Amino acid sequence: MKVLIRALLFLSLISLGQGTVLAQNYLILQKGANEKSRITYEVGDEFIYLQEGNDYYIKDVIREIDRDYIALKENVLSLKQIKAIDIRDKDERNQTLANLTLLPIAGGTLLMLAGGINSLAADGGIHYSTGVWTTSVALIGAGILIKSLRYKIFKVGKKKKIMVITVEASE
């Protein structure tokens, strides 16, 4: 019995001394050498892509990322088969543009509301002055214009590349 306990203790000490290496693969979308515009996908992320030979986008969930392929819930894809990726919800820059879209639209709407309330109190009816009208329309139009500038599609091509990066962590 003592020999068994000593053997188990010895094996547990050996296993504690050896660190395990964990690796996580990430799918990186990048244009040129600009690291600020990187978009990162990992296992469990939703992935909307246009496969070569198809005219429609497919939505799937990433199950595994390897150097040569991506294993999805419903499909296995080679990196060379991907023509474009829908990045509307994934690109962080779109969150900034969404916030910038909201501000002028809200400002224009608030100006219209305030101008209407002021004219109602002063004249008893709703009448807008030319300045209030043009400023409100300009603000709302600017917000709608900024909304159209959002990043929608990442087309794989000359400068735009898909890469797989492996990050190893040892314990």
What pLDDT is attached to residue 113?
92
Which of 87, 95, 118, 106 is closest to 144 using CA atoms? 106
Tens of each residue's pLDDT in the chain, 171 residues: 665 555 445 445 455 545 444 568 888 888 888 777 788 888 888 989 999 888 999 999 999 888 888 889 988 888 888 899 988 877 777 777 778 888 999 999 999 999 988 888 888 888 788 888 999 999 999 999 988 877 788 888 888 888 888 876 555
Model-wide pTM > 0.75 = no
In the Cβ-directed half-sphere of 110, how many Cα atoms lie within 13 Å?
Answer: 6
DSSP 36: G
